[in-house]
A and B are shown apart, each in its own frame.
Chain A
């Protein structure tokens, strides 16, 4: 299996991770009152997960150059 299609498979994994992370029922767990550093929990979770997804994608894409 070459590195090229391996990156593709990792990205497909990120897609699935995103689908699970940003939907019911995981979303339900964070759908509570309360705050993290003054930011509502759900809002913080969504943006945090979003950032993690983007970061993972960037990592997968950019590191294949080395």
Chain B
């Protein structure tokens, strides 16, 4: 048995838990360890989209329209994909301009206009207050139904009970108290409420858990799975109908228009804007929410149709409102705990919506309705120095209370009337009117204040005429004739068939006309006028928000003189003196100043002060307040345009500069490399000179020494003289060879060599070379063998030069092998690529570290300090140059102790190939 007191106790306990979560969230936030710095929490808090209208209402909608409840959730799923561009940009704009509500967003964009802020607020309040009534109604109904447990009695109509016995008044007051405690704890310059967001995320979990629990119980407890429910429903024609969309243009039209409507609402409902934009702590969270939020919507909708069908099968006798199936199904089976869980889930859906919505609305009412009036009042001028921060909080708290009481009054007045039941979509259509001015404002610089006013007003008027007034008429508050005959009896003005447009449901009809009027007025008036200076500068701040260097751009558009001594007290009046002082000190430190006293009241400081104030009282009022203490020289439109041009020129210049500096860097790097190369060459030349002189001095020294001995000892015996003379001759020959080689090298390197290119047979070249060195080999008793194919293609090359290469390789080889056992083999092979010659010896081999060195000038393998030099050190470099001149390659492969193989390749040149072909033809 569920007692009223039990239900109330449990509800209060739940609110206590909520309170604890929020309190904990605020505490964590105060300590800088934010609880909500988590993308999943952000996505969950966005699920404030799902109110009792989802929790109880979806089932009701599904019971009458079948899957017609789905577009409300499919639209948000689709638009979420665009949040990557749109919502991220909104968040960035809001952060840069300290925007605290959707009214502020629109007002700020259109030249910080108080009029626009006020109009948006009025539309939002009129559109949303009935929606709040709906939440109160749902909680109050579910409470009274639960009170009847185990009987299922539909609640008596609201308004039949005296006010003092009406639980919904208590509920409204309790929610107001809760909202006041969390929404207006203090005035925040950014209007963020971390504790509240944590509580909302928690509520989103509760309502999902509760709804899923009922869904599972109905599907698998009451029935035998999805298949069972659908199969049983299919047997009943009026239920089977619900599983399809009726195949008419009108039903597909409503499907599409509901999708569009929900796309716009999920972005522009004040509570969604509050959570998605104002309460956002990190724009990266938006990106994760892009898929997590739609996933939540998917999960909470899975069981809607099964519960609706299950309810209709179960209560086939009727008498039970489909809107209550979620609650009454468990009650009918005496599932006390489940029923209580459902009640708590519904409570969480209602409180979540009411808290966020009233906070958002109260901010708007305070900043965009009350403040502008207050700032003009005589009272305000009299109390010019008073601290206003307390007053601001009082206004917000009052606004919260008034909004909730308005909601309650509307609920009492409307009761079961159509004006309340259909309010979900009517509210959606109201906030959809913000879409043109917001999207236009974010992506089109041409939108003006007058255009926005005209668009909003036209859209709102058409909405009221085609949707709100007809709902009043259907509720019996207006004569029905107004619906059927049109205003003043003019048939063309029939509200739901405006200008004779039929074949649409009323939401589609309203959406079409209102958005058409809205967009046309917005664009038309914008285009027919000229934006003022402030509008142009604000348009730039909004449209270019994602561009680089957009941060801090706001101060560009201000010129004038101000005193910090005047700004600081002004901010202090609204934020409280300590908070203002703290904020200014932080700002001074950011700018690298020692303290507030050191701060100059330049454009940056004034902009900072204004944005601080904007966080507290809205951008339009902040502008008025700041203007009252500074001497601003208003910028003309031309000047703003000049600043913008300059800014874009500066951007262009900086891009050019960047490019130039990159080019410069590249050129510097090239220059540095060239310089290094030159220095290297210079060093090589020096090395070369010193090596050449060194090499020349060695034979010269010995020639001179022996000549002096011969000169000094004329009596020397003939044999010894002969010996000395032969040394002199040999050294002279070496000298000659060295000089020749140096000249050769110099010629080749400078490209002045004359090459005698002719067709030649490499076998013949090798044979001649072997013949030339055979005497040396015989003297040293070294075996020299050659392996050559019978026929090789002819080659275009310089015969003498190739013989020089061969002689060099062969004489090198014989130098290093040991007499007697030495063996040198010459191999000639040919492939498609060309000819290859290997000269292999079985000498000591070449150390790996020397294998590159030996091809450098005057460098020899082995340790030059201990080993006796065996050559000039120019032979291999020259050979390499020669081979490379003919397009070939010279290298060595060797392992110490296992001999060495010097190889070179020579490509078969085109001419040689042609000659071979010619020869073949001739043959």
- Asked whether, in the complex, the Cβ of A38 is within 8 Å of the Cβ of B230, the reply is yes
Q: Find chain B residues with CB under 8 A from A35 CB.
A: 227, 230, 234
Give the complex CA separation of A32 and B857 in angstroms: 90
Give the complex CA separation of A62 and B290 in angstroms: 11
Q: Which of A1-59 contact B (CB under 8 A)?
A: 7-8, 11-12, 14-15, 18-19, 22-24, 27-28, 31-33, 35, 37-40, 42-43, 46-47, 50-51, 53-54, 57-58
- Asked whether, in the complex, the Cβ of B81 is within 8 Å of the Cβ of A14, the reply is yes
Highest count of chain B CB atoms <10 Å: which of A37, A51, A53, A54: A54
**Closest chain B residue to A8, Cβ basis:** B84
- Asked whether, in the complex, the Cβ of B298 is within 8 Å of the Cβ of A47, the reply is yes
- Asked whether, in the complex, the Cβ of A31 is within 8 Å of the Cβ of B78, the reply is no
- Asked whether, in the complex, the Cβ of A53 is within 8 Å of the Cβ of B252, the reply is no
Classify chain B's interface size: 35 or more
- Asked whether, in the complex, the Cβ of B85 is within 8 Å of the Cβ of A42, the reply is no
Q: Find chain B residues with CB under 8 A from A19 CB.
A: 78, 259
- Asked whether, in the complex, the Cβ of B77 is within 8 Å of the Cβ of A23, the reply is no
- Asked whether, in the complex, the Cβ of A31 is within 8 Å of the Cβ of B244, the reply is yes
Q: Find chain A residues with CB under 8 A from B228 CB.
A: 38
- Asked whether, in the complex, the Cβ of B85 is within 8 Å of the Cβ of A8, the reply is yes
Give the complex CA separation of A16 and B259 in angstroms: 13
Give the complex CA separation of A23 and B79 in angstroms: 14
- Asked whether, in the complex, the Cβ of A40 is within 8 Å of the Cβ of B81, the reply is no
Q: Find chain B residues with CB under 8 A from A42 CB.
A: 67, 243-245
**Closest chain A residue to B249, Cβ basis:** A24
Q: Could you tell me the distance in whole angstroms from the C-beta of A58 to the nearest C-beta in chain B? A: 4
- Asked whether, in the complex, the Cβ of B290 is within 8 Å of the Cβ of A11, the reply is yes
* B305-342 to A contact mask, C-beta < 8 Å, 1/0: 10000000000000000000000000000000000000
Q: Is B295's beta carbon under 8 Å from chain A?
A: yes
Q: Which of B224-242 contact A (CB under 8 A)?
A: 225-228, 230-231, 234, 240
Known: A11-B84, A15-B78, A42-B67. A57 touches B294 (CB 8 A): yes
**Closest chain A residue to B231, Cβ basis:** A38
**Closest chain A residue to B79, Cβ basis:** A15
Q: Find chain B residues with CB under 8 A from A38 CB.
A: 225-228, 230-231
Q: Which of B74, B82, B231, B244 contacts A33 (CB 8 A)?
A: B244
Q: Is B463's beta carbon under 8 Å from chain A?
A: no
Q: Find chain B residues with CB under 8 A from A43 CB.
A: 67, 230, 243, 305
Q: Is B608's beta carbon under 8 Å from chain A?
A: no
Q: Find chain A residues with CB under 8 A from B82 CB.
A: 11-12, 15
Q: Is B256's beta carbon under 8 Å from chain A?
A: yes
Give the complex CA separation of A57 and B291 in angstroms: 6
Q: Find chain A residues with CB under 8 A from B305 CB.
A: 43
Give the complex CA separation of A25 and B919 in angstroms: 78
* B74-91 to A contact mask, C-beta < 8 Å, 1/0: 100111111011000000
Q: Could you tell me the distance in whole angstroms from the C-beta of B435 to the nearest C-beta in chain A? A: 16
**Closest chain A residue to B82, Cβ basis:** A15
**Closest chain A residue to B74, Cβ basis:** A22
**Closest chain A residue to B39, Cβ basis:** A61
Q: Find chain A residues with CB under 8 A from B227 CB.
A: 35, 37-39
- Asked whether, in the complex, the Cβ of A18 is within 8 Å of the Cβ of B298, the reply is no
* B30-74 to A contact mask, C-beta < 8 Å, 1/0: 000000000000000000000000000000000000010010001
- Asked whether, in the complex, the Cβ of A53 is within 8 Å of the Cβ of B77, the reply is yes
Q: Is B836's beta carbon under 8 Å from chain A?
A: no
Q: Is B302's beta carbon under 8 Å from chain A?
A: yes
Q: Find chain A residues with CB under 8 A from B230 CB.
A: 35, 38-40, 43
- Asked whether, in the complex, the Cβ of A53 is within 8 Å of the Cβ of B290, the reply is no
Q: Is B578's beta carbon under 8 Å from chain A?
A: no
Q: Could you tell me the distance in whole angstroms from the C-beta of A2 to the nearest C-beta in chain B? A: 13
Q: Could you tell me the distance in whole angstroms from the C-beta of A8 to the nearest C-beta in chain B? A: 5
- Asked whether, in the complex, the Cβ of A18 is within 8 Å of the Cβ of B252, the reply is no
Q: Is B830's beta carbon under 8 Å from chain A?
A: no
Q: Could you tell me the distance in whole angstroms from the C-beta of B758 to the nearest C-beta in chain A? A: 59
Give the complex CA separation of A27 and B245 in angstroms: 9
- Asked whether, in the complex, the Cβ of B291 is within 8 Å of the Cβ of A28, the reply is no
Q: Which of A8, A15, A28 contacts B252 (CB 8 A)?
A: A28
* B292-305 to A contact mask, C-beta < 8 Å, 1/0: 00110010001001
Known: A31-B247, A46-B70. A57 touches B252 (CB 8 A): no
Q: Could you tell me the distance in whole angstroms from the C-beta of B381 to the nearest C-beta in chain A? A: 50
Q: Is B287's beta carbon under 8 Å from chain A?
A: yes
- Asked whether, in the complex, the Cβ of B77 is within 8 Å of the Cβ of A46, the reply is no
Q: Which of A24, A50, A62 contacts B77 (CB 8 A)?
A: A50
Highest count of chain B CB atoms <10 Å: which of A14, A33, A37: A14
Q: Is B255's beta carbon under 8 Å from chain A?
A: yes
Give the complex CA separation of A66 and B818 in angstroms: 65
Q: Is B288's beta carbon under 8 Å from chain A?
A: yes
**Closest chain A residue to B88, Cβ basis:** A8
- Asked whether, in the complex, the Cβ of A28 is within 8 Å of the Cβ of B247, the reply is yes
Q: Find chain B residues with CB under 8 A from A62 CB.
A: 291
Q: Which of A15, A18, A32, A54 contacts B295 (CB 8 A)?
A: A54
**Closest chain B residue to A14, Cβ basis:** B81
Q: Which of A12, A40, A61 contacts B243 (CB 8 A)?
A: A40
- Asked whether, in the complex, the Cβ of A15 is within 8 Å of the Cβ of B81, the reply is yes
Q: Could you tell me the distance in whole angstroms from the C-beta of B507 to the nearest C-beta in chain A? A: 16
Give the complex CA separation of A65 and B718 in angstroms: 94
Give the complex CA separation of A12 and B82 in angstroms: 6
Q: Which of B78, B234, B256, B288 contacts A61 (CB 8 A)?
A: B288
Q: Find chain B residues with CB under 8 A from A7 CB.
A: 84
Q: Could you tell me the distance in whole angstroms from the C-beta of A16 to the nearest C-beta in chain B? A: 9
Q: Could you tell me the distance in whole angstroms from the C-beta of A31 to the nearest C-beta in chain B? A: 5
Q: Find chain A residues with CB under 8 A from B80 CB.
A: 57
- Asked whether, in the complex, the Cβ of A23 is within 8 Å of the Cβ of B298, the reply is no
Give the complex CA separation of A39 and B252 in angstroms: 22
Q: Find chain A residues with CB under 8 A from B291 CB.
A: 54, 57-58, 61-62
**Closest chain A residue to B80, Cβ basis:** A57
Give the complex CA separation of A57 and B225 in angstroms: 30
Q: Find chain A residues with CB under 8 A from B244 CB.
A: 31-33, 40, 42
Q: Which of B245-284 contact A (CB under 8 A)?
A: 245, 247, 252, 255-256, 259
* B210-233 to A contact mask, C-beta < 8 Å, 1/0: 000000000000000111101100
Highest count of chain A CB atoms <10 Å: which of B78, B226, B294: B78
Q: Find chain A residues with CB under 8 A from B74 CB.
A: 18, 22, 46, 50
Give the complex CA separation of A40 and B242 in angstroms: 10
Give the complex CA separation of A9 and B907 in angstroms: 54
Give the complex CA separation of A12 and B156 in angstroms: 49
Give the complex CA separation of A19 and B82 in angstroms: 12
**Closest chain A residue to B225, Cβ basis:** A38
A-B contact pairs, 18 of them (CB 8 A): A8-B84, A18-B74, A18-B81, A19-B78, A23-B252, A27-B255, A28-B247, A38-B226, A39-B227, A40-B234, A42-B245, A47-B298, A50-B77, A50-B294, A57-B290, A57-B291, A58-B295, A62-B291
Interface residues of A (CB under 8 A from B): 7-8, 11-12, 14-15, 18-19, 22-24, 27-28, 31-33, 35, 37-40, 42-43, 46-47, 50-51, 53-54, 57-58, 61-62
Q: 4 shortest A-B CB distances, which residue pairs?
A: A38-B227, A24-B252, A57-B291, A40-B243
Q: 15 new A-B pairs (CB below 8 Å) besides A23-B255, A53-B294, A54-B291?
A: A8-B85, A12-B85, A18-B74, A23-B252, A28-B247, A32-B244, A38-B226, A38-B228, A40-B243, A42-B245, A46-B74, A50-B298, A54-B77, A54-B298, A57-B291
